[in-house]
Amino acid sequence: MSIKVTRKESASRFLGLVVNKTVFLSAIAVIIFTVGFTLIFEKEADYYFGMAQTFVSAHGGWIYTLSVNLFIVFGLYMAFSKFGAIRIGGAKSKPEFSLWAWFAMLFSAGIGNGLVLFSIADPVRDFLNPPRLAGHEPALIAQEAINFSFLHHGIHGWAIYSVVGLSLAYFTFNRKMPLTLRSAFYPLLGNRIHGWMGDVIDIMAVITTLFGLATTIGFGVGQINSGLTHVFGTPSTLFYQVLIIVGVTLAATISAFSGVNKGVQMLSKLNVRVASAIFLLILILGPTTFIFKSYIQNIGSYLVHFVDMSTWTESLQGTDWQKTRTIMYWGWWISWSPFVGTFIARISRGRTIKEFILCVLILPALVTFLWFSAFGGTTMRDILLGDTAMIAAVNDNISTALYVFFDKFPLAMLLKVLGVILICSFIITSADSGALVVDSITSGGKLKTPRYQRVIWAVATGLIAAVLMYGGGLNALQTVVTISGLPFAILLIMMCFSLYRGINEDYDKAERQEKLLERESYRKNILDLVNKEREEKNLKKIDPETQPKKKPNITDI
């Protein structure tokens, strides 16, 4: 089922670049203004952006909560409904990447260094500041801390990515539309997506993608520097952090120049291999039996409390925990969805809708849960046994918590080196794939553009991170990214309706065509049978020998 939609060509030549000038210039203007404002008025920016975040959390938190649960229900419906067998790109489309390469890329783009940074920090922070069980037994508090870590880093976040990824993949490869966010709204807006409405959607996508990547690189570089300081004694200074940004940007630029089939795929496989090596070492050198037992128990506890945690809004408690933790995570996942969703769509041609949803929704979450059980679960066990070293490490600097954790194991130095490599690789992959996504959106959805355009965006992302790190403002910018999740949550709800309407229209049309073909085939078969009988009768009249011989009578002898 592949239906082509007539569209207006939005990209044109501008200073040697192939871009949609409205989206390109508007996004650059907003980025320059925002970065300049946060640099010049850093304290004021922190104050006003903080007020905005508090207002959004207090009055829009229920929208976040409703949205992320709706996305799970919608994704599972699409997977197990009559649409599940539809193949992205058409019935004859084949996957561009192997299942292993595909999973490695979507996992690396979607998780990034958050897997490393928060697998210990989040359970410890939620143990020290329990969301709902303050005053209860420490073991119950520890289990709920793991449960909420699963909530914040599991199925809900990937449901957000799956909605954007599936919508863009379907409209790009099945309806032959541009790979930009505006395309997903065609069934609702029609040709108006080619006007200012579509431009606004794409501009928002570009801005949130670049700001999200810049803040991730900025904070990730701090984690790299802390690791180098902890492992090799490298000074933790602004100079070295900017130097690390230069190195990360250079590597991302080289990878972006190579394209998806080489650079991004190679880095993504490296991420999974290094992460697997670290996990296996922890599994072998650490409490092996406990890790497997806790993995099973943690998943069971998470599923038992799934609906309760997913719909909790602090309406009766009168506390602020959920506003500053869960709502922050939902805003962050949603603000990243244009970037990750577009990238997942780009690499998902040839997958069925059922395969796409289940793989994107379930597999990364299961891997994340295993990682959190090994790192966060082991940390919780040690704390309950009286070891407070990780509490001190998290309170001091969450960026070094991972390396303090490695000190508990043999081959600690090897683990630390692998940890630094993994964080670097995750950040480079994010910057690289982000450059590909921004280039696609600003070029009007083209899948192939001049290579130097991707290089420009890779350098721009690193430059924004370096400038903000040098002049301050990363925290304010991170707050802006989180706030931007609220309007995007509403857009994503509209996207669900748009995808359903579009895919249902195409399905009904294909079904009608199939019935017409069946009728035509049936009619043709009937006509063929009638014509065949007529031909046989005519042949018998023309050729007497074909007539059966008459039995002779006695009178004929």
Cα 479 to Cα 51: distance, rounded to the nearest angstrom: 10
Q: Which of 159, 202, 155 is nearest to 182 (CA)?
A: 202
Considering only the top CATH level, what class is 12-498? mainly alpha
Query: Can you give the pLDDT at residue 105?
Result: 82
Structure tokens at 64: 């976040």
Structure tokens at 409: 């194991």
Structure tokens at 382: 């040690």
Cα 439 to Cα 447: distance, rounded to the nearest angstrom: 9
Cα 367 to Cα 34: distance, rounded to the nearest angstrom: 37
Structure tokens at 248: 């990360």
pLDDT tens over the chain, length 557 residues: 444 444 455 556 666 677 788 888 898 898 888 888 877 877 777 788 778 878 887 788 889 999 999 999 999 999 999 999 999 998 888 998 888 888 888 887 777 667 888 899 999 999 999 988 888 899 999 999 999 999 999 999 999 999 999 999 999 999 999 888 999 999 999 999 988 899 999 998 888 888 878 877 877 887 888 888 887 888 888 888 888 888 888 888 887 767 655 667 787 888 888 989 999 999 999 999 999 999 999 999 999 999 999 999 888 877 788 888 898 889 888 888 888 888 899 889 999 999 999 999 999 999 999 999 999 999 999 999 998 889 998 988 888 888 899 999 999 899 999 988 888 888 888 888 888 888 888 888 776 777 777 788 888 888 888 887 777 666 776 777 778 788 888 999 999 999 999 999 998 888 888 777 777 777 777 777 777 777 767 766 665 555 555 555 544 43
Q: Which residues of 146-168 are buried (b: 16+ CB within 10 A; e: fewer)?
A: bbbbbbbbbbbbbbbbbbbbbbb
Query: Can you give the pLDDT at residue 166?
Result: 95
Q: What is the DSSP string of 183-215?
A: GGGHHHHGGGGGTHHHHHHHHHHHHHHHHHHHH
Helix/strand/coil percent split, the chain, to 5: 80, 0, 20
Q: Per DSSP, what are the bridge partners of residue 87?
A: 352
> Domain residue spans in the chain?
12-498
Query: Can you give the pLDDT at residue 554?
Result: 46
- Which positions ≥6 away from 267 have C-beta within 8 Å? 108, 255, 425, 428, 429, 432
Q: Are 240 and 234 in contact (CB under 8 A)?
A: yes
- Which positions ≥6 away from 402 have C-beta within 8 Å? 116, 117, 119, 120, 227, 375, 419
88: phi then psi, degrees, rounded to nearest 5: -65, 120
Q: Are 132 and 378 in contact (CB under 8 A)?
A: no
Q: Are 450 and 440 in contact (CB under 8 A)?
A: no
Sequence letter at residue 324? T
Cα 335 to Cα 483: distance, rounded to the nearest angstrom: 8
Cα 419 to Cα 397: distance, rounded to the nearest angstrom: 16
Cα 206 to Cα 160: distance, rounded to the nearest angstrom: 18
Q: Which of 340, 262, 255 is nearest to 101 (CA)?
A: 262
Q: For the range 128-132, what are the long-range contacts, defined as Cβ-Cβ under 8 Å and sequence gap of 24 or more? A: 128/391, 129/321, 131/321, 131/322, 131/325, 132/312, 132/317, 132/321
